[in-house]
Structure 1
Amino acid sequence: MPELSPPSVIVIPFAYPDYPSQDVQCQIDASLRALERAGLNVAASAPVMLPDDVAPALQMLRAADYDAIIALVVSWVEAPLFVATLRPFFNEPILLWSHTIFSENGVGLTLGALPAAGVLRETLEEMEARFAFVYGMPEEPTLMESIRTFARVAAARRKLAKARIGLLGYASMGMYTGTIDHTQLRRQLGPEIDHLDQYEVVVRYEKVGDQEVEGWLKEAERWQLGEGVSPDELRKAFRMALAIEQIARERDWDALTIKCQYELSRTFGLAPCVPLSILGDRSVVSCEGDLPLVVSQLILHYLTGEPTSYGDLHNVTATHILLGACGFAPLCYAAAAPVINKHTALYEGLLNSSPYKPGRVTLLRLGARRGRFKLHVAAGDAELPPPFHEVGCPTYPFVNVALDGNVADFMQHVPSQHYAIAYGDVREEIALLCRLLDIELIRD
């Protein structure tokens, strides 16, 4: 999967003109060096200390390309100068970073930054800016980690605003919760939905020759193939994967979901389970035309930089949730060599039967209530699933999650049966993203 670019920040330093200029500049320079060492792309304006400094800072903000603004407070600040500079950008992610004290010859010294931040933090809150507040000196590792997290979340917000999601078909099997308010999505989160019929996949698939995927068959040599999985079946899966990938590239999609049931899985006779499992290693893909789900997967990808999956809720105990889709999961999620079987009862084509590898995971699902979006998030430990399958079907790619929180509470909040899954714990990042996007957070 392509690596995400480092977050970009623009730093606007604020200071007071009556403090020694060398002390002020020393604190600013140390802050900029620390941000660069933290792996951020950094641009900075000259310090804003006087009314004449506001216009140049505004000009730079309007011209710059950035994910977040860092309002750097290194001394006392006149609040009207701060507001005059940043008020036009209160809908952008702003990180208010206040210095505390520094030392010289074993003596703690202050330029009055934290008292100023007390005024500015409340000012931002009362003016309903999209902001977070951190404090500390540049050499503090925990502070830099907090700043990196904010920048990463701000970058995810910006990527969402520019994202294009491909919808091939519509929500499967009458799933009300698989649909979405298109204009609300564009307004509040940002992604565009680009809709095509699944017939586009059929036409493109029929144009892909077997010779175009012969090289892909090498990949299948490491797979564990079930009964009836022939080279011809594998070629069909690879041809569909290539067809979908070509469409996504041409349409400039950042993610996609496809209605598999029942036009592809029965009428056409080729479920896209394995094609999507192949593509899931290198792009954000999903099935059943579930738009809130694929948006959830895209959010997790932008926060982790890793492939994402999803699963249906199949069983709950006092401590665990069993999840699995009916044949899809990125092959890189497999606990061992991928297991590929043939659909037997409900659909035609191949499916991924690989259990998930152990590790920490985040579960996420976008929903809506009274015209506003909400995000339900939880985390836990992925464990190998117990023996289990749907009646008449091969085993699906399952994962048994030992939930950190209360399972009963989680179940009372489910917005749908599908949950996006990603390795790693990004609950704090999700909470911050909800603040920046003004989305209700439900955390279990």
Structure 2
Amino acid sequence: MRTGFVSFIAPAYTQDTVEVLKEIVSRAKEALTSLGIEIVSEAGPVINLFDVEEAVSKISSIQFDFLTALIPSWAESPMIVNTLQPFFNKPILLWALSSIQKGDVLIAPAGAAAMAAVMHPLRAMGAKLKVVYGNPESSNVRREILHFARAAYTVNKLFGSRVGIFGYADMGSYTAGFDQTSLRSKIGVEVEDYEVHRLLLEADKIGDEEADEFASRQFEDWIIDRTVTKEDLRKTVKVYLALRKIIHERRFDAISMKCVYGLPIYYGITPCIPLSLAGVNIPVVCESDVLGLVTELIMDYVSGQRSVYLEFYDIFEDRVLMGVCGMIPRSALE
């Protein structure tokens, strides 16, 4: 998770007050870092209009998932608006700090007042705001910021993601279909149909020796049913090795495949094991279910861990039975 960072302070404060506010700003930056958020570009404090151009230039120097606009005190709205306006295409965390108690003294720089003065104008102008109020020590503040940061990271990541499918809408499932233009424009994911026969052409290039060597390593601790022949296992491995190569060459971030009217018809095996092995590194679903696959990709980005695609098999009064026909990433089993 990557953020640009800028802070705002009113020009009326004395230099001593500005230095105190800078210390408060430093604590906010440390809080972001402790949440796993990297500050990749930084500017501020923006105090007057002469600071705006330099701040925009500094913030623009590196790409980020969202922009953090910190308001530790009262700040004049034009400075905030002029600095943030070039970044209205990005999510913006508008974070206003609250008062600070130091012994018997309450320091109240009025960050809430500055936030209230600029929040509505920013939204009316089209800014994508997440407003957070409170100090870095607050667990609620930290939780809100982290949730927002993960969402912003996910949105940014999706717009560079590529999904590979091998065949379209297995068994003619209506829910597996998708509108490519709508998906690309709204979510940002690019979908490429590599097609099953091209996958098999790649699988045929892999020699028996290479496949057997991989199988001996990969399945060393697997319990394999005696009815599974060496030839079937070899074909399965060849498909996986070809799939791994294609994923790398086509830069696929997730894949799905026709598993009923695909490999079983053309190659005599199901894709469950190849998909399960591929699922160690990227999201996978079966039946060329594009929207299900994109949903899984979103869950991976948001959670930071591998999600698993399951279907509802039955619904009871006290439990739900879910499963899938064989394609489960090994990481989920562990």
Normalised by the length of structure 1, the TM-score is 0.70
What is the aligned partner in structure 1 of residue 99 from structure 2?
Answer: 101
Q: Gapped runs of 5+ residues in structure 2?
A: none
Shift of 1:128: 4.0
Inter-partner Cα distance in structure 2 for 1:69 and 1:320: 43
8 Å Cα contact 1:280/1:309 also seen in 2: no
Counterparts of 1:238-387 in structure 2, within 5 Å, are 238-334=237-333
8 Å Cα contact 1:308/1:330 also seen in 2: no
8 Å Cα contact 1:15/1:48 also seen in 2: yes
Counterpart residue identity of residue 8, structure 1: R
Shift of 1:227: 4.3
SS at 1:46 equivalent:
strand
How many residues matched?
A: 329
What is the aligned partner in structure 2 of residue 17 from structure 1?
Answer: 11
Inter-partner Cα distance in structure 1 for 2:320 and 2:127: 38
What is the aligned partner in structure 2 of residue 85 from structure 1?
Answer: 83
What is the aligned partner in structure 1 of residue 110 from structure 2?
Answer: 112
8 Å Cα contact 1:74/1:99 also seen in 2: yes
Normalised by the length of structure 2, the TM-score is 0.92
Inter-partner Cα distance in structure 1 for 2:174 and 2:316: 27
8 Å Cα contact 1:91/1:129 also seen in 2: yes
SS at 1:299 equivalent:
helix
Deviations 1:167-216 (A, max 9, x none): 21111111122111111111111111122211111101111122223133
What is the aligned partner in structure 2 of residue 40 from structure 1?
Answer: 37
SS at 2:192 equivalent:
strand
Inter-partner Cα distance in structure 2 for 1:64 and 1:206: 44
Shift of 1:88: 2.8
What is the aligned partner in structure 1 of residue 122 from structure 2?
Answer: 124
Inter-partner Cα distance in structure 2 for 1:205 and 1:171: 22
Inter-partner Cα distance in structure 1 for 2:329 and 2:104: 55
More helix by share: 2
Inter-partner Cα distance in structure 1 for 2:178 and 2:262: 21
Inter-partner Cα distance in structure 2 for 1:48 and 1:8: 21
Counterpart residue identity of residue 9, structure 2: A
Q: Gapped runs of 5+ residues in structure 1?
A: 1-6, 336-444
Shift of 1:277: 0.9
Work out which of the residue numbers 140, 152, 155 in structure 2 matches 1:154.
152
Q: CA RMSD in A?
A: 1.8
SS at 1:327 equivalent:
coil
Counterpart residue identity of residue 23, structure 2: C
- How has the CA–CA distance of structure 1 residues 306 and 231 changed in structure 2, closer, same or farther, with 3 Å as cutoff? farther
8 Å Cα contact 1:75/1:111 also seen in 2: yes
Counterparts of 1:182-221 in structure 2, within 5 Å, are 182-213=180-211, 214-221=213-220
8 Å Cα contact 2:97/2:112 also seen in 1: yes
- How has the CA–CA distance of structure 1 residues 72 and 112 changed in structure 2, closer, same or farther, with 3 Å as cutoff? same
8 Å Cα contact 2:254/2:284 also seen in 1: yes
Inter-partner Cα distance in structure 1 for 2:202 and 2:66: 41
Shift of 1:292: 0.3
Instruction: Name which of structure 1's ranges 136-145 and 16-25 shifts more when overlaid on structure 2.
Output: 136-145
Inter-partner Cα distance in structure 2 for 1:106 and 1:269: 79
Inter-partner Cα distance in structure 2 for 1:91 and 1:197: 36
Instruction: Name which of structure 1's ranges 55-64 and 189-198 shifts more when overlaid on structure 2.
Output: 55-64
Counterpart residue identity of residue 326, structure 2: G
8 Å Cα contact 1:217/1:234 also seen in 2: no
Percentage of pairs with the same residue: 32
Counterpart residue identity of residue 243, structure 1: A
More strand by share: 1
Inter-partner Cα distance in structure 2 for 1:118 and 1:320: 47
Deviations 1:276-316 (A, max 9, x none): 01111122222211110110111011112222221222111
- How has the CA–CA distance of structure 1 residues 212 and 278 changed in structure 2, closer, same or farther, with 3 Å as cutoff? same
Work out which of the residue numbers 58, 67, 78 in structure 1 matches 2:65.
67
Counterpart residue identity of residue 182, structure 2: Q
Inter-partner Cα distance in structure 2 for 1:195 and 1:215: 27
8 Å Cα contact 1:260/1:287 also seen in 2: yes
Inter-partner Cα distance in structure 1 for 2:34 and 2:195: 47
SS at 2:4 equivalent:
strand
